[in-house]
Structure 1
Amino acid sequence: MPVRHDQLTQIDSGTYAFMHLPGGWGQTNTGLVVGNDASMVIDTVWDRPRAQANIEAWSSVSDAPITEAVNTHSDGDHWWGNNTLPESARITTSATALIAMKEDTPPGAVGAFAAIGRLARPIPGPAGYLGGYMHQVTGGADLPRRLPRLPDHTFADTEDIEVGGRVARLRNFGPAHTPGDLIVHVHDAGVVFTGDLLFIGATPVIWHGPLENWISAIDHLLQLDAGTYVPGHGPTCGRAEIQLLRDYWVWLSQAGRAQHSAGVTPLAAARTLVRTPEFAPFAQWGSPERIVLNLSTLYRLFEGAEPAPPTFARRAKAFADAGRLQRDMLS
């Protein structure tokens, strides 16, 4: 079993994860791979004090300089802390993720919108639902004002990174959760850093699709020779937890399609589905109201729309529905 030091988890003598549990919005896990004379960081976080705490955690376990870093995908909570990395470190991501990073809403705008959301929470109706939920998503994080440092190296499908005599295999499975979702497989440690292809104990979110790509990625993870998986959110896990995530997506795809065919809206479908016996295995996951975010994306795909990142209007509508469903579930 890994040795735990508060949020710092040692997986083997040279592989670590910095966990932020239970794994809700913005509670991102990061990783460190230490070689003989160099080290590699997997993901950074969007809260500036916590990003600095990550760097200090890495320094506490290794004096090998950070020469490589990987951003697993384009969500800000996995790369907006890049400015804390050494300037000399190369940052790698998939080519599709880099495009999405440049096109996504910048951190300053997200922070401003969350601040407005905090004030809008008491307003009745959709504005209050949206405002309250958006404030919850950022969780009071101290976001950077400007777009942080972007990755300076990309790849298409697979790439090996050598760091201090150790090799990590990067594989891109996107588009799925986002336009580009990669994993980092450290073979000699038997560990896989999965980014947001895995949410463990927390309800996953699909914004882009297609879902079939995500399920294929899960199937690949289940076939790997690995003993420990570090998800983007939630605790480290093995194959049983990964299989449960797969079960969620298969169930929601089938149940959601039936609701869509019946002409039921995503919000109404979510209200129905969370009350079914089939939802019980997933009911204790964090943020169960995210089911409506997932249905909003799946409905688009059911209707033949091309997989695509959410527009501001689409994300706002989904967040308003999630806020309303959350209040319904708590009442």
Structure 2
Amino acid sequence: MPSNRRHFLQQLGALGAPPSLAALGSATLLGAPRTARAADWPTRPIRLVVPYPAGGSSDIIARLISRHLGEALGQPIVIDNRPGANGNIGAAMVAQAGADHHTLMQCDVGALAISPSVYTKLSFDPGKDLRGVAMLAYSPHLLVVHPSVPAGNLKEVVELSRRTPLNFAVTAIGSAPHLAGVAVAQATGAKWQYVPYKGGSQAVTDTVAGTAQVLMNGMLATLPQVQAGKLKLLAVSKKTRMPLIAQVPTIAEQGVPGFESGTWQGVMAPAAMPDALVARLSAELIRIIRLPEVRAQLTAQGAEVVTMTPPETNRFFASERTRWAAVVKEGGVRLD
């Protein structure tokens, strides 16, 4: 493997691997101490912004937890899908909510950490304007193709891409699935055309329709289409095989040693949200995601319940921003 490709993969590292909290311990926590009476809050419905279209991983989890969270807080949870710019439109809304303590965001935390490195101009600073509430779940990416594609594994689709133009659907330019696809292409010599969408659900829909032939996307939103026979599964982007699909080899097993990528689902809040409210929210969210019926639904679709407290989420977010900056620089991905 050429040295530049090897270095890129080393920088990419274990995109979806659970971080070592000890290793993250030196990171600076986001936000300063704040005080408020959690017992007096909320006083009106909570808006939960999902910065992607309906049907994607973030949206699935938001709808899975919303009823339970509403019951716990005594106010309804209103899900507000605000897709665009790789999640930055919705994220900006939450970041700019300021002292409005009734606006939250359910998002792919890893994808949000990429934005400062990929976008030359952002209307907000994710590290200063947002704070972590809780990490909830993780699911690896699946590498899939339309059933008409004559390839049954990674090697075959790579060889096919060198002979035939293939459209590679990505949730957005600069997203984690996009950079994972770039890493695979650099490691294997695959040649495909990246086609950007506003979110995972739209990328899945177009691949099912055959408009795009190749897709890498979160398992939570993609596996149902595989199970329905509408997409063909070639590989999973985890270091070890997933028990739910144990017969499917990993990308690492198919010639890209150490490769791993995935989506981290968590809840973020405006930086000004008081500590007491964040602590109450975090406790409820972690309790809800660990409920047997909620965990069972996620596990059945290939997601793992992986929880982090607000300090842990902030440290993870900070470490992801640092790591992705190196990946983006190596991959040469920049957007205006």
Q: What TM-score, normalized by structure 2, do the two folds share?
A: 0.26
Q: What TM-score, normalized by structure 1, do the two folds share?
A: 0.26
Structure with higher RCO (Cα < 8 A, 6+ apart): 2
